[in-house]
Amino acid sequence: MQEGLDKYTRRRAQTAYVSTIVGISLVLFMLGIVAMSGLVIRKLQKQVKENYQIDLFFNEEIPEADLKIIEAEVDQLDFSIKAEYVSSEEAWAEIKNEFGENPLDVIDGEIPIEPSIKVTINETYFNIDSIRSIEQQMLAKYPNQITDVNYSEEGLENTNDKLFKTTYFVLFIAVLLLVISIAMINNTIRLALYSKRFLIKTMQLVGATNSFINRPMIVQSIVQGLIASVIGMALLVGLLYLIQVYLLDISKLLNVYLFLKIYIGITLTGILISVVATWFALRKFLRLKLEDLY
């Protein structure tokens, strides 16, 4: 009879242990999806910002050699990722390529386009105030050489507004999911410890200190967090593999460093939430009176 009771107790404990790990794994999997989405969106935002260019148009009378020197100078400035000189002929060839040649745009055999330097802007300068400051800086640095600084204010503001809204939407989802995750993991661990309430109280009655009772439970919660993080990450990798094979190519957006950051984040989050939830649940059960266990 006693042997059967012991087997039943062990089976319940094992079931509670496995269900806790499964519950934490699924929660960490969802957090991993949000984290991955956030990092990918951040990477896309960086690419969008660093594709923004301003055009510096120069007087046609400036020799190409001098414009090459200016190109090298601009390329070294803090706000510049890359500066690229575009001759009048190259610009005209691009326009013909895109729209087709219109004879009305050619006057007396001359190309009505000034030479320019395309400047790709660093993402930290991707705002209208910084761009205006760059414009003034360039006009002051090359006063008799630059004829115009061309950029799209409306396009910049619209892009910034969309990026801002996207960032806060992802942040809101992440915070909301984190709160839900904490509540779910806390509830799962409390239910698991509830099945051990008599064991905890028995240990307390025979003289075991709270720290002696807490120690193995906390260690177990750390192990659960580690195992759950591995399972959660495996599920995330599996999902990404299915997306890559059956939906779209995402290989350019992902790398080992990104996976490492997410895995470390998921592992630390899983362990932290598991340990904190276990500690609070244990405090509650250690304070219960014997008659309150039933």
* Predicted pLDDT of residue 14: 66
274 falls within a domain? yes
Does residue 118 sit in the same domain as residue 31?
Answer: no
All residues at 6 or more sequence positions from 62 whose CB lies less than 8 Å from its CB, including other chains: 115, 145
What integer best gives the mean pLDDT of the chain?
79
Q: What percent of the chain has pLDDT over 70?
A: 85
Does residue 24 sit in the same domain as residue 169?
Answer: yes
Of 123, 134, 187, 193, give the one whose Cα is nearest residue 160: 123
Query: CA-to-CA distance for 115 and 85, rounded, in angstroms?
Result: 8
DSSP H or E stretch at residue 118:
strand 116-121
140 falls within a domain? no
Residue bearing the bigger pLDDT, 291 or 237: 237
Does residue 36 sit in the same domain as residue 72?
Answer: no
* Predicted pLDDT of residue 13: 57
Q: Are 85 and 126 in contact (CB under 8 A)?
A: no
* Predicted pLDDT of residue 118: 92
* Predicted pLDDT of residue 293: 57
134 falls within a domain? no
**What are the tokens at 119?**
């400047």
* Predicted pLDDT of residue 90: 79
Does residue 271 sit in the same domain as residue 225?
Answer: yes
The beta strands (E) that lie in the chain are given as 53-58, 80-86, 116-121, 146-150
Q: For residue 83, report the phi and psi dihedrals to the nearest 5 degrees.
A: -115, 130
24 falls within a domain? yes
Q: Are 83 and 71 in contact (CB under 8 A)?
A: yes
DSSP state, residue 110:
B
Does residue 37 sit in the same domain as residue 65?
Answer: no
- Determine the average pLDDT of the residues in 147-170: 84
Does residue 209 sit in the same domain as residue 284?
Answer: yes
All residues at 6 or more sequence positions from 233 whose CB lies less than 8 Å from its CB, including other chains: 28, 32, 262, 263, 266
Q: What percent of the chain has pLDDT over 90?
A: 8
90 falls within a domain? yes
Residue 1 pLDDT more than 50? no
Residue 111 pLDDT more than 70? no
Q: pLDDT digit string (tens) for 28-53?
A: 888 888 888 888 888 888 888 888 88
**What are the tokens at 184?**
């779910």
Residue 105 pLDDT more than 70? no
**What are the tokens at 38?**
């956030």
268 falls within a domain? yes
Q: Computed over its alpha carbons, how large is the radius of gyration of the chain?
A: 31
- Determine the average pLDDT of the residues in 87-109: 64
Picking from 78, 109, 125, the residue at the C-terminal end of a domain is 125
Does residue 239 sit in the same domain as residue 268?
Answer: yes
Residue 191 pLDDT more than 80? no
Residue 115 pLDDT more than 80? yes
- Determine the average pLDDT of the residues in 243-254: 74
Does residue 182 sit in the same domain as residue 288?
Answer: yes
Does residue 211 sit in the same domain as residue 67?
Answer: no
Does residue 29 sit in the same domain as residue 170?
Answer: yes
How many structural domains compose the chain? Answer: 2
